[in-house]
Amino acid sequence: MSHAIQDRTQASQPCFVERDSYYLQAQPPFDAHAFLEERAIAFDQGAPTGFTALDYSAALGCSWPATTPVMLARYGKLRSGDSLESRFSAGGEIHYVIRGSGTSENRDARIEWRQGDVFCFAGGSSTRHVAGAEGALLWVVTDEPLQAYLAVHSPQAHADFPPALHYPADSIAEALAAAQRVEEKKGSASNGNAAFIFSSEAGKARRLLPFPALMLAMNSLVSGSAQRPHRHNSAALTLVLEGEGCHSMIDGARYDWQPFAAIVTPPGHLHSHHNRGTQVARVLIVQDSGVHYYLRSAGFSYD
């Protein structure tokens, strides 16, 4: 019986890999990085409407745009009255409104947003943003690199994830104030870091925070405080919302905060955030910890 495969494409030939060599084929490590050039492009008043990707693929050794192996972040600039359309091959889209106001549509959902809001859409469909009279600047994070790695070109929306979620700025402020009160009650056991995680009633039982792969959280640090150094197996993207006189320490290197700049923390790297300013600091953090929750490989530990 013939086992030849009749294939007119020039496919790669099958082979075997010696076991010990396989375990040496680890993906290359990557360093922490602050995306300051991309921030400068997005905040340039003369920049046209469009996306600026925080593309770290050269350091990651992958052939598609990526900020971390699982996540891709972008700034979305909209000039006054302009529209901006996208169709990301992603499991979901996270948006934070850095400034301005406008509307976004995806499938049958339409969200009116303003500065400080967070909104999310399920992946696999087109999104259209329209800016108000003052224009707008968005920060957008998806799991496109994960979909690219898995060769999933048209991901289906997760059954437990609503088509759209909207977290108004006022509600976010209330949730953070509540988290800060909880942290204050810890007294000397607190390290000053108050936080909460974005989810949905339908999704939280399945640890969709807010997506299967991605976790979104808001963290704050009171003046003079610092996080206890810790590490985890998920990569983290930290967007600075307020943080004068603040910095992050990542594997012994210091990264000073700049407003609305993003810092990537690689998986497993010891890190902490420090507030040496006079005001409460706030950051928005996206992690690929949803993948690790599912795999039971979160690996969180303090130094």
Question: Quick check: 59 pLDDT over 50?
Answer: yes
Residue range 98-153, pLDDT digits in tens: 999 999 999 999 999 999 999 999 988 999 999 999 999 999 999 999 999 999 87
List strand residue ranges (DSSP E) for 163-300, in order: 164-167, 193-197, 215-221, 230-231, 236-242, 246-250, 253-256, 262-265, 271-275, 281-287
Residue 62: its H or E element: none
pLDDT of amino acid 108? 92
Residue range 252-277, pLDDT digits in tens: 999 999 999 999 999 999 999 999 99
List strand residue ranges (DSSP E) for the chain, in order: 33-34, 50-53, 72-78, 83-86, 92-106, 109-114, 118-122, 127-142, 164-167, 193-197, 215-221, 230-231, 236-242, 246-250, 253-256, 262-265, 271-275, 281-287, 301-302
Residue for token digits 């303003």? Answer: 114
The C-alpha angle with vertex 142 and arms to 228 and 42, in degrees rounded to 5, equals 85
Question: Quick check: 2 pLDDT over 60?
Answer: no
Mean pLDDT score of the chain, rounded to an integer?
Answer: 91
pLDDT of amino acid 186? 87
Residue range 66-109, pLDDT digits in tens: 999 999 999 999 999 999 999 999 999 999 999 999 999 999 99
State how far the Cα of 198 lies from the Cα of 218, in Å rounded to an integer.
8
pLDDT of amino acid 56? 98
pLDDT of amino acid 190? 79
Residues in the chain: 303
State how far the Cα of 60 lies from the Cα of 29, in Å rounded to an integer.
7
One-letter amino acid of 212? P
pLDDT of amino acid 191? 72
Bridge partners (DSSP) listed for residue 215: 210, 287
pLDDT of amino acid 273? 96
pLDDT of amino acid 48? 97
Question: Quick check: 8 pLDDT over 60?
Answer: no
Residue range 141-193, pLDDT digits in tens: 999 999 999 998 777 766 777 789 999 999 999 999 999 999 989 887 777 78
Q: Which two tokens stand for residue 202?
A: 């339908």
State how far the Cα of 186 lies from the Cα of 249, in Å rounded to an integer.
24
Domains of the chain, start order: 30-302 (2.60.120.10)
Backbone angles phi, psi at 149, to 5 degrees: -60, -40
pLDDT of amino acid 19? 77
Q: Which two tokens stand for residue 261?
A: 């700049």
